[in-house]
Structure 1
């Protein structure tokens, strides 16, 4: 079981200011008797047993940081994440934009697929379909991704996205292709 509490000085000195660490939500986590540090997403992924090379790729700040996506629980058979949707994530009508829901679902599904490949491999999305079942107002969205099929060449996942009131807002199905981590190995 992972217990996380916010702190401000959890990165190596000089990496981020105290204000920057707070803004990005860095956490200190105590897992059993060992202490781990990093963002909540990093800690959840590290708890899934990823090696350092894969952790570096999985915690690339890019789009997940830009959108504010956090991984709260990560195992090979289930991944849970959160997104605090605000005015940056809404359409002209004031509801959470369908593209935000798709990006959130794709990030969770892709991350889960990466947890299910052997060392030396990675995945990329080759097909994605989302059914938006209900409109969402801004607030905390929760996504739950589970594998439907885990094969040597493809992984099929389903991600359910829940509104702040707990109702199912969207259902995404995606296929991830398994690729060698080293592009030269494909030739």
Structure 2
């Protein structure tokens, strides 16, 4: 598979797959190529759970994610939260639909230490014909501490040819 090919075998928005099944294609062990691609591979996190209206990404920041002060860059939190929140919305999409983030907001409550394993839990609150709303949180796996929270609004797109 070349770098410019799709990340999954069946693309989102296809009339052949709903959002939950699309997300489940990306779970560990489903596609060895996917495990090496995408923003999660670059930033050190991976999809670990996908259910109706909820996804979990797990991972740990590395030294590659630090800002000039030596702490985890805010963009790492934002990207991880954007992933879990938007993908939670994806799990509720019918076949022939796709999504993209319109806006998101995060609150960083404390710094995640480099190497600390965290879980980012995204929960869909509403998914309608044109928009989806979700919330997310980043919690430490070992300490259970809340490190960051977020909320998002995504646009829901009906793809050409969708029923």
Per-residue deviation at 1:101? 0.3
1:172 to 1:49, Cα distance in 2 relative to 1, 3 A: closer
Structure holding more helix per residue: 1
Counterpart pick for 2:84 among 108, 127, 148: 108
Aligned pairs (5 A) from 1:34-183: 50=21, 55=25, 59=34, 61-138=37-114, 139-163=116-140, 165-182=143-160
Per-residue deviation at 1:79? 1.1
Per-residue deviation at 1:93? 2.4
CA deviations on 1:88-142 (whole Å, 9 max, x unpaired) are: 1122222211100000111111222111111000000001000111122112121
Larger RCO, structure (CA 8 Å, separation 6 or more) = 2
Structure holding more strand per residue: 1
Query: Normalising by structure 2, what TM-score?
Result: 0.73
1:170 to 1:49, Cα distance in 2 relative to 1, 3 A: closer
Alignment partners' CA distance in 2, 1:136 and 1:93? 14
1:132 to 1:113, Cα distance in 2 relative to 1, 3 A: same
CA deviations on 1:39-78 (whole Å, 9 max, x unpaired) are: xxxxxxxxx85159x948xx59221221122111110132
Query: Normalising by structure 1, what TM-score?
Result: 0.64
Contact 1:94 1:137 in 2 (8 A): no
Alignment partners' CA distance in 2, 1:110 and 1:163? 21
Q: How many equivalent residue pairs?
A: 135
User: For structure 1, which runs of at least 5 residues remain unmatched after alignment?
Assistant: 1-14, 16-47
Cα RMSD (Å) of the superposition?
A: 2.6
